[in-house]
Structure 1
Amino acid sequence: MSDNIYQNLEQLGGATVLPDDPKTAILESVQNPQADVDYVVRFTAPEFTSLCPMTAQPDFAHLVIDYIPDQLLVESKSLKLFLGAFRNHGAFHEDCTVSIARRLIDEINPKWLRIGGYWYPRGGIPIDVFYAFGEVPKGVWLPEQGVAGYRGRG
């Protein structure tokens, strides 16, 4: 392979600091070496955390991000650091979930993307947030996200 598609990555393979704010976190991307085929990429973040903007209490979610890449792939370590930047960020569940999707869309311009934010209850009410962008290309196998709705202790 004469062209190294990974040469511009700055975070992978080295020491990194968790960003203080998702707005300043760097999302990196690489060329998709399989851009001639439609396929689904899934990232699962079962321990996502952010803060309530009113009380500063922690909020927890199980995120599932699916996308069909076009020319770019998101680099996974940069995604992990971006998601980790929400740990001290105050925003409502809806804002966190949709902001993550929109930032990914801006960075990699996928053919299609969806995010499921399965938030754990606070105040007795779980909030699930779903966002989708684009149309699923014909013939792509799209698995269910597989996260059960909240049932409580039963």
Structure 2
Amino acid sequence: MTAAWLPDRDKNQGASPNLKFGYRIRNDKTTVVTTERLANDGGYRASHELLDGLLRLRQTQAPGPGGGWLLTDTYYNGTGQAYKNNDPYLAVGAAGDTPIITAEGAVNGQTTTIYDGADRPIKGIFSVAGDVRWETTTAYQGDRTHIDPPESAFHIAVSRVC
């Protein structure tokens, strides 16, 4: 699909599409899906989704204030699990077909997940600007799973009934 018309615009009467899509699939760089949304001024505003070599979402790039870009990032470990996610943050740089890289700890919301040898999450860590704000741990004990949330939250124990 390369274009979409919503009910408020009639394609048969020559109206421009509400959304336009572009796809760049490459072997030597990230794959990029570009979405252009019709703006109030009749122009289009582009956002980009960058995919890694396995076509997993790596970074989103959307127009932000002051000519910057609002980015989100997802990083994957060697077994394919998403182990780090950055909440939306403002960055400068040229958007498009290359991820915009920021310094570690420079984002205002990052969730890191640590997995055990069976690829089960055992720790979730939320950080702001590199400062750990809370952690959640999970322990797997046969037919029980214990989840220890951040301080001042409720402890959860889940039992599996066969």
Q: Given the two structures, how large is their TM-score scaled by the length of structure 2? A: 0.28
Larger RCO (CA under 8 A, 6+ residues apart): 1
State which structure, 1 or 2, has the greater radius of gyration over its C-alpha atoms.
2
Q: Given the two structures, how large is their TM-score scaled by the length of structure 1? A: 0.29
Greater share of residues in strand: 2
Greater share of residues in helix: 1
